[in-house]
Amino acid sequence: MADTPGLRPIVFWLVPSQPWRSRIADLIAALGRVHGGPAFEPHITIEVSHAPAGVSLEAVLDRVARGFEPMTLVAGTTAHSAAHFRTLFVEFDDPRLPALQRRLREELGRDEGYALHPHLSLLYRGDLPLETRVRLAATHRFAGERIEFDLLVAVQPSLPGGDLSDIEMIDTSLRVALGDPKAGP
């Protein structure tokens, strides 16, 4: 997703709290080292959109985060696919996630139709062989685990005109704690 005149690409992540954040980040980094994928912060992508040039993303995050308390979500199945950003992932199903997406869309004044399929990716590597993906999904099970998420993050390209599909070239510095926008990470 690249810049559109008068709009800038934006993605919103919901990030787990500690100690889950570190535990899952360590797993993502280890899987990436072994299977040739990048390291990235654990997250559930809530919305993919464009922000109008005059919109303050910090204000959007503050207003949205104020309306949601930290969420304890129950992990579902660990699944896999040939899609790069969904090579190995943990599924989630909770009505608060679509509500969070709706609120972000209201604040942005935009709905670009991003289909929310809540999941937390563990590995980005779309060309990984099927047998390897099946084995990894069976090995890294989280089903039934209660994972708290407490941070809303606005993800932007790190360079003007940048592309959000390059996980190593994104800026995730704009982050707000759910329930208390001034608490920070």
**Share above pLDDT 70 across residues of the chain, in percent, rounded to a whole number:** 94
Domain interval for residue 148: 9-177
Q: Does any domain span residue 2?
A: no
Q: Does any domain span residue 182?
A: no
The pLDDT of residue 4 is: 57
> Between 21 and 167, whose confidence is greater?
21
When divided into structural domains, the chain yields a total of 1
Q: Does any domain span residue 59?
A: yes
CATH of the domain at 69: 3.90.1140.10
Q: What's the predicted TM-score (pTM) here? A: 0.91
pLDDT for residue 36 is more than 60: yes
Q: Does any domain span residue 149?
A: yes
Residues 6+ apart with CB under 8 A from 96: 68, 71
Q: Does any domain span residue 3?
A: no
Q: Does any domain span residue 139?
A: yes
| Residue 2 dihedral angles phi and psi, to the nearest 5° | -115, 175
At 25, list the tokens: 């980040």
**Share above pLDDT 90 across residues of the chain, in percent, rounded to a whole number:** 80
pLDDT in tens, 63-90: 999 999 999 999 999 999 999 889 999 9
Give burial (CB, 10 Å; 0-12/13-18/19+) of 77: middle
Residues linked to residue 44 through DSSP beta bridges, in sequence order = 14, 120
Mean pLDDT, residues 103-113 taken together: 94
Mean pLDDT (the chain, rounded): 92
The pLDDT of residue 182 is: 55
Q: Does any domain span residue 49?
A: yes
pLDDT for residue 185 is more than 60: no
